[in-house]
Amino acid sequence: AHRLARDMTQVLRTTLETMSQGVSVVDADLRLIGHNQRLLELLDFPPSLIHEGTTLEDVFRFNAERGEYGPGDVAAQVRERIERARHFVPHRLKRTRPDGRVLEIIGTPLPDGGFVTTYADITEQERIAAEIRRERDFRQRLIESVPGIFYLIGQDGRFLLWNRNFETIAGYSSKDMSAAHPLDFFEGSDRELIASRIGEVFASGSTTAEARFKSKNGTLRPFFFTGERIELEDGRPGLIGVGLDISERKQAEAALARQTAILQATLEAMDQGISVVDADLNMSALNKRFCELLDLPESLAGGGASFADFARFNARRGEYGPCDIEAKVQEM
């Protein structure tokens, strides 16, 4: 029995020394009854402090005096930790040491009182996690800075990312967005168009579309959408894009069309022939009376011709008398 106990103790000690975590074991009286060398390395303890029989109070005082717990009254810091330890409650916490090393400390109570506590160096994991958080926050700031709505969807039609503008314009909550499908925001021919363009992105790489975006309350607004195929982190294809509200542009186009129609109607109502030539010598406007008076063909009356086209037509039919046609065109 003595030999078995001795062998088991040796196995336990060997196991402790091969662990990457520091380990300490204290009894119900909060005295150290076991530890490994890694504990001293991680917590920068001198060997004279850590040995069988060392009290937890001695360890806490050593740490408090060297500033391990930050500024404060040493006696109060020690007393607070001793009182907490006497409750023998399971605990898990992270502590950043003065040298910047981050430790994860896990305490597990023993059946008859006392603790087994492990100390793991998670400095690198914390650095990586902080870097991921920074990248995620930066990415989110970029997404939120996009004018209009931003979206990233998978090939199954599930929204993977979106900005708050999307929720605001659509009138959807985050929960609504998680359950939504891109086609939920369109109806009729617009829905068919968007379905076709989504398939086009996954098939050929990119597309654009103009369609009326339907919010939750039924409001329809004209939007210009872009879509680009990308590869997601797991290798699956995704569609990333933005949607811009073009209501103002549509209103401006409609107003321009109305003004153009009024101008053309005014020109056609006049008894004089009128033409307008721009700075590049293109015929930007003319009326039917102008074409009648000058006996111009449909090819010139239809618009889009240049002043040179008119001059060349007239020269060819002898309007300017005998001449070198191209020389006359240049002169005119």
55: which DSSP letter?
A: B
pLDDT of residue 330: 93
pLDDT of residue 123: 92
HSE of 212, CA atoms in CB hemisphere, 13 A: 10
pLDDT in tens, 238-291: 999 999 999 888 888 888 888 878 877 888 888 898 888 889 998 888 888 888
Q: Is 161 left (phi over 0), alpha (psi -120 to 50) or beta?
A: beta
Q: How far apart are CA 310 and CA 298, in angstroms?
A: 12
Angle CA(28)–CA(29)–CA(30) in degrees, nearest 5?
A: 90
pLDDT of residue 283: 83
CA distances from 108 to 24, 45, 119, 178 (A): 11, 22, 12, 40
pLDDT of residue 304: 74
Please identify every stretch of the chain with a pLDDT value under 70, giving residue numbers as ranges: 5-15, 302-303
pLDDT of residue 276: 86
Tell me the percentage of the chain whose pLDDT exceeds 90: 56
CA distances from 293 to 77, 120, 274, 279, 301 (A): 105, 96, 10, 24, 12
CA 229 distance to own-chain centroid: 15
